Amino acid sequence: MKLENLHIGYNNNIVVRNLNLEFKLGHLHTIVGINGIGKSTLIKTICGELQSIEGSISIEGEFIKNISYKELAKQISVVHTSREENKFLSVYELVQMGRYPYLNWIGKLTENDKQIIDEALALFEITEFKNQKCFELSDGQYQKVLIARAFAQNTPYIILDEPSTHLDLHHKINLFKILSNLAHNYQKCIVLSTHEIERAIELSDQILVLLKDEHYFDTPQSLIDKEVFQRIFPSEMVNFNPHSKSFVSNDIYP
Amino acid sequence: MSKSQKFTILSLLTIVALILNLSLGSVEIPFWDSFKSLLGTPLENKSLEYILWSYRFPKAITAQFIGASLALSGLLMQTLFRNPLAGPFVLGISSGASLGVALLIMGASLFGISHVSTLVTTLGASIGSLLVLSLVGTIALRVKDSMSLLIIGIMFGSITAAVVSVLSFLSSKEELQQFIYWSLGNLGAVDSTALSILVGISILSFIVGLTLIKPLNALLLGESNARNLGVSVKNSRILIIVITGLLTGSSTTIVGPIAFLGLAIPHLCRLWFNTVDHKILYPASLISGALFMLICDTISQLPYSSTVLPINAITSIIGAPIVIWLLIRKKKMQF
């Protein structure tokens, strides 16, 4: 997926300028940056919900704005944080919806579809919950169900908007492991936005750091070498330690 | 109990309710006679046969189609607006029908017309509901999210209600009475033309509506997720509004604004079938709506007496306690 000369934002109010980069299959890409810097705007633009102001996004040479909803649904699956889903769906019903782009008008599942759904349930270790309603699950389990749904959609690209938001530390680490597995063993192109910068440094192949008026896209190590992470947050509050690869808060009230 | 068993029970209950509805009324027709007559055996008593086929049968058919139409409209509205309180009336369509009828009945005297026939009220209601429907439809093309559309619908409703209030304040006692009679709902006043229009529109909408089952299920995940699953949210929304408009409009036109049913039946179906899947809820709402309306009509015609109570009141008196009881027992609403 290529982003070329891409300017994004709302109503001609440009948030991020001049993005030129490529998200590759088999790689885990993370987008980080302070709140309001444009992470969600970028995610929405990539998945076709928002028009770009200038420039283009293309998949294998084809501009996504020229691809119909139906075809795009076979290329890109999206996991939102909005939590708008109806919680009375059972786990199986929700995961099964990942097959919608491939099903006929009434939504009849073929044997092949059922196999893919079972594989998704097994991969994310949620088979035992498959008949439970979503409101009965914990946030960690529910997040897995949402990603299993995207996996069942069987698209080369999986985009996730802040998937770690509602999770505790254990589930956050588990989430990154799952995503890294999807990228490296299933040859998916994963793009996610997150505030878990330390986890991102540990497990992503490339990180896109959005700063005010500029951005960097590189491997975690070279971003550390370029001292980019120090500039994400106002330095009087938080500092980045390149040796421990972690953030430390400054004692602002001595 | 499996889902197909539940469907069998619903269908059997509907058949029993139909025969009961045909048998009971101011004149009693024995249960087995109605049953045999339904199967095509002529009755010995010709006057009973006349009552059965030219009055009660059309009324029972009207009841079933209106029940099914309103229940389906309610289901569509609740899913589209992701709001458990939405019903076929939220788009202001029935208010449009009321306004049409009010203008005709209460405005007629301004032109020196003293009496307005049923056919004319039907016409007024259709024009009123179609006008509101096309307005809401045009707005649906421009407004991006369904929540604003819901509020716009409610605003339409209150504007039309206000105009109706002004008209009723200015009109004479007789006109007011005629309008109130219409608004209380009367299944018996349907002539054969109106009935065939209702049946035609309903069947067509039920069939076209089948194509909405998949988009409706996708909408359970929210509009942006539905779009990412390849569903055209805009087209589905327009089709949902048109179908609801036609179903609500044609029902309201004939029997006045029958409240409650469209709101409650989808909830009852969700609770009983324990699912939010539209593949189940779509047929379940149709059958349950028809069944519920038949039962209400049977009660409203007060067996063994010549009085007929307003159907509109009966649906709420019977239906509301059922919903309250189910919610208290199950403690959680499936929405």
Query: Which tens digits make up the pLDDT trace of B253-309?
Result: 777 777 678 888 998 899 889 899 999 999 999 999 999 999 999 998 877 777 888
The Cα–Cα gap between A76 and B74 comes to 33
Residue A98 to residue B229, Cβ atoms within 8 A: yes
Interface with chain A: mutation pick from B229, B277, B281, highest number of A CBs within 10 Å: B229
Element at B24 (helix H, strand E) = none
How many angstroms separate the CA of residue A243 from the nearest CA in chain B? Answer: 41
End-to-end CA distance of chain B: 22
Torsion, Cα of B117, B119, B123, B124 (10° steps): 20
Least confident of A35-44, A140-149, B21-30, B220-229: B21-30
Residue B269, CA distances (Å) to B6, B17, B217, B335 in order: 10, 18, 15, 11
Cβ pair B252, B192 in contact under 8 A: no
Cβ pair A56, A5 in contact under 8 A: yes
How many angstroms separate the CA of residue B280 from the nearest CA in chain A? Answer: 12
Which chain A residue has the Cα nearest residue B278?
Answer: A106
End-to-end CA distance of chain A: 48
State pTM to two decimals: 0.89
Residue A84 to residue B221, Cβ atoms within 8 A: yes
Residue B231 to residue A106, Cβ atoms within 8 A: no
**Which candidate from B211, B228, B276 shows the least CB-CB separation from A77?**
B228
Residue B218 to residue A97, Cβ atoms within 8 A: yes
For residue B116, pLDDT beyond 70: no
Query: Which tens digits make up the pLDDT trace of B172-214?
Result: 888 888 888 888 877 877 778 888 888 998 999 999 999 999 9
Query: Can you read off the two tokens belonging to residue B273?
Result: 């079938």
Chain A interface residues (partner B, CB cutoff 8 A): 47, 49, 69-74, 76-78, 80, 82, 84-86, 88-90, 93-94, 97-98, 100-101, 103, 105-107, 153
Q: Which pLDDT value is given to residue B113? A: 65
How many angstroms separate the CA of residue A16 from the nearest CA in chain B? Answer: 22
Q: Which residues pair with A191 in a beta bridge?
A: A29, A159
**Which candidate from A82, A85, A105 shows the least CB-CB separation from B214?**
A105
Instruction: Tell me which chain A residues have a C-beta less than 8 angstroms from the C-beta of B234.
Output: none
Instruction: Tell me which chain A residues have a C-beta less than 8 angstroms from the C-beta of B276.
Output: 86, 88-89, 93
Whether the predicted interface score ipTM is above 0.95: no
Instruction: Tell me which chain B residues have a C-beta less than 8 angstroms from the C-beta of A90.
Output: 275
Q: Give the residue ranges of chain A where pLDDT is below 70.
A: 251-254
The Cα–Cα gap between A171 and A147 comes to 13
DSSP assignment of chain A: -EEEEEEEEETTEEEEEEEEEE--TT-EEEEEESTTSSHHHHHHHHTTSS--SEEEEEETTEEGGGS-HHHHTTTEEEE-SS--S-TTSBHHHHHHGGGGGGS-TT-PPPHHHHHHHHHHHHHTT-GGGTTSBGGGS-HHHHHHHHHHHHHHTT-SEEEEESTTTT--HHHHHHHHHHHHHHHHHH--EEEEE-S-HHHHHHH-SEEEEEETTEEEEE-HHHHHHTT-GGGTS-TTTEEEETTTTEEEE--S--
CA atoms within 13 A on the CB side of A44: 18
Instruction: Tell me which chain B residues have a C-beta less than 8 angstroms from the C-beta of A76.
Output: 228
Q: What are the helix and strand counts (H, E) for chain B? A: 15, 0
Give the mean pLDDT of chain B: 85
Instruction: Tell me which chain A residues have a C-beta less than 8 angstroms from the C-beta of B231.
Output: 69, 100
Residue in A155, A59, A53 with CA at minimum distance from that of residue A102: A155
Q: Which pLDDT value is given to residue B279? A: 94
